[in-house]
Structure 1
Amino acid sequence: MNARLLTHLRHVDLAVPDYDKQLDFYAGVWGLTKVAEDSGISFLAAEGSPESYVVRLRRAEEKRLDLVSYGAANPADVDTLAERLLAGGVELITRPGKVDTPGGGY
């Protein structure tokens, strides 16, 4: 039996050309709270979420999905997931390790 090592969705990172409009939408309509900002990137949190932020918006010329981040119970599970991906022929851009962006993690 395969154990399910992913536990939850941590955040979604979006690149948008209409950054100010999207920031107004996520903060106003969705009710997210801006918890950090750094030159064209905003991190937005959801009340009640265990994650530091659930949406990251980045100012960009083209609209795209930058990243979907999932959570695991512990670093060992993250390492196991990475090994499974490698065994399946997936090329990893980076190996698992400590994350230094807002929200942190491994």
Structure 2
Amino acid sequence: MMSLFRVESLDQGEDHLIFAAVTDDGEPLDPEVAARLMTVPGSASPLPVGERPGLTEQALGAQTDRQRVAIERQVFERNARFFEAEAQKLDGWADDLKVGLEREIKEMDRQI
């Protein structure tokens, strides 16, 4: 299964493809392996007798949800680093402004 996950971050949209697959035994495959499977030619076939499609859909849904949470966490961490860097720039600017104002006050005191 492949799904598109769009994240809006800092006024920009990011599209992520999420790949999910399970083995015949119901074991989840690594997302990279699932992505590679999409390059293999194939066709759909009916499920074997006794197979319950609901369990497979649940497993794929859970796998997709885990990947979405991981993507959201990565975006959040990247945004936090960006905001921290911008806050440091603002702090530096404020310190420079303060030093400049203190110089002006000392100069005015000297003139008085």
TM-score between the two structures when normalised by the length of structure 1: 0.21
Specify which structure has the higher proportion of helix.
2
- How high is the TM-score relative to the length of structure 2? 0.20
